[in-house]
Amino acid sequence: MAEHALLLPVGNMWRYLACAKSELRLDLTLACGQSFRWRETAEGHWTGVMGGRVWTLSQTDEALRYHVHRSSGGRGEPAGPRERRAGVPLHTEGSSGGSSAGAVNEEEEEEEEEEDDEEEEPVTEDTDEEAEMLRDYFQLNVSLGDLYQQWGAADPHFQRIAASFPGVRVLRQDPTECLFSIICTANNHISRIHGMVDRLCQALGAPLGTLDGTSYHDFPSLSALAGGGVEARLRDLGFGYRAPFLQRSAAQILAADGPRWLEGLRAAPYAEAHEALCALPGVGAKVANCVCLMSLDKAEAVPVDTHVWQIAKRDYGYTAGKAPKSITNKLQRDLGVFFRTLWGPRAGWAQSVRFCAELKKFQPLRETAQLKKEDEDEDEDKKEVTVAREGAKAEGSGNAKGGRNKPARHKKAKTSA
């Protein structure tokens, strides 16, 4: 029910936010595996759900353009904390093409027609609020240009790719959405993850409306994720062994004061947040680092995956000594310290740029600048990196290994009532 609330098409009602392309590149930032909620619905146009609303974003050289799709008859309340949804029905097109992309809840489409929310508040304030939502989501208060400068000066390998991959920012995502999306990424393909997150929202998230035949859903709430039968449902949706991780993690968080527990970690030190996350089923060191970096304001967190490990070996000669067969926790800690020493307190941001540049889908971008650049100096700076391992603790709460606070290990708690 309410599956087919009609979302208004993008008219000429773009809003603009001053933002240079060197500060933000939508294509790189939205498709590099941080969030799996955005699709390029048209050339240079990215549509997705953020903060309980459906957005379409695009950009010019100097501005970020955005539009929020309003439901024409939506009764689906946004699950967000703010309930004030200034939905103003403009066109009341008879709901036509119910082209069921979901095939799940096929309903006879009823005429969208109920109490049209009488405008109870002036809508003008909403636009400022939405601009602020974007600034927060993209963390536009952080000057990426300055950071690129610093990283490039400190690291010739970063400098080598910087010009080809500008505007790669770390998103500030909702912690719940980030956590449960990232759990899905473990031992998985990016191409597959997109579909999984999509089906997750389709199956358990509140419907927000339909646009161009595609239905959009909010990210599932913790209660929806923790519900009985969720594991089996997700198994059917192709989540494999991750299905119980999602359900059990949700239940565990709910038992620990719900979303406030997660959001509270934003104010906690990196090491503490990392440790707390690792207590959740399906959350190891790498996933915890991703969540810390992309939703909990831990800019120093460096997720070490196979790509970063390859980079470390190839570019920074980080095999000196021993090369574990797999990426161990110790290796992740050591590499975290190493990259924080190299890149500084926002090492996680720099890592995101390097990771992005490593993705196969973005290799064409690399070629372009490579031709311009020189291509002779290759192995130049492969020096000892072991030296850097020493004074790496100089950055406050850098490494996420200290902290012997409280055990709080539930992890394998089966059906702990």
Binding flag, residue 185, DNA (CB under 7 A)? yes
Residue 361 or residue 373: which is nearer to DNA going by CB? Answer: 361
Interface segment toward DNA; rule CB under 7 A; list 144-152, 167-175, 179-187, 364-372: 179-187
Residue 82 or residue 411: which is nearer to DNA going by CB? Answer: 411
Q: How far apart are CA 290 and CA 277, in angstroms?
A: 10
Q: How far apart are CA 281 and CA 259, in angstroms?
A: 16
Interface segment toward DNA; rule CB under 7 A; list 75-83, 99-107, 118-126, 239-247: 239-247
Which pair of tokens denotes residue 46? Answer: 């990215």
Interface segment toward DNA; rule CB under 7 A; list 111-119, 136-144, 164-172, 286-294: 286-294
Binding flag, residue 331, DNA (CB under 7 A)? yes
**For 392, what's the count of Cα atoms within 13 Å in the CB-facing half-sphere?**
22
Residue from 51, 175, 281, 336 binding DNA (CB under 7 A): 281
Binding flag, residue 286, DNA (CB under 7 A)? yes
Active site residue 411: no
Binding flag, residue 319, DNA (CB under 7 A)? no
* Neighbouring residues of 273: CB distance < 8 A, sequence distance ≥ 6: 265, 266, 288, 292, 296, 298
Residues 10-49 that bind DNA (CB under 7 A): 32-34
Interface segment toward DNA; rule CB under 7 A; list 54-62, 90-98, 219-227, 280-288: 280-288
Interface segment toward DNA; rule CB under 7 A; list 16-24, 79-87, 119-127, 282-290: 282-290
Residue from 30, 50, 283, 292 binding DNA (CB under 7 A): 283
Binding flag, residue 192, DNA (CB under 7 A)? yes
Torsion of CA 298, 300, 304, 305, to 10 degrees: 50
Which pair of tokens denotes residue 169? Answer: 């920012």
Catalytic hit among 286, 372, 401, 406: 286
Q: How far apart are CA 29 and CA 23, in angstroms?
A: 11
3-state SS assignment for residue 69:
strand
Percentages (nearest 5) of helix, strand, coil residues in the chain: 40, 10, 50
Binding flag, residue 402, DNA (CB under 7 A)? no
CB of 51 to DNA, least distance (A): 21
Q: Which residues of 390-415 are buried (b: 16+ CB within 10 A; e: fewer)?
A: eebeeeeebbbbebeeeeeebeeeee
Question: What DSSP character marks residue 56?
Answer: E
Which pair of tokens denotes residue 398? Answer: 């850098």
Binding flag, residue 186, DNA (CB under 7 A)? yes
Residue 306 or residue 319: which is nearer to DNA going by CB? Answer: 306
Binding flag, residue 409, DNA (CB under 7 A)? no
CB of 399 to DNA, least distance (A): 12
CB of 300 to DNA, least distance (A): 15
Number of helical (H) and strand (E) elements in the chain, helices listed first = 16, 7
Binding flag, residue 404, DNA (CB under 7 A)? no
CB of 3 to DNA, least distance (A): 24
Which pair of tokens denotes residue 307? Answer: 């790509």
* Neighbouring residues of 292: CB distance < 8 A, sequence distance ≥ 6: 270, 273, 274, 277, 298, 301, 348, 400
Check: CB of residue 351 under 8 Å from CB of residue 308: yes
CB of 316 to DNA, least distance (A): 18
Active site amino acids: 286
Q: Which residues bind DNA (CB under 7 A)?
A: 32-34, 182, 185-192, 195, 235, 238-242, 245, 278, 280-288, 290, 303, 305-307, 322, 324-331, 355, 411-412
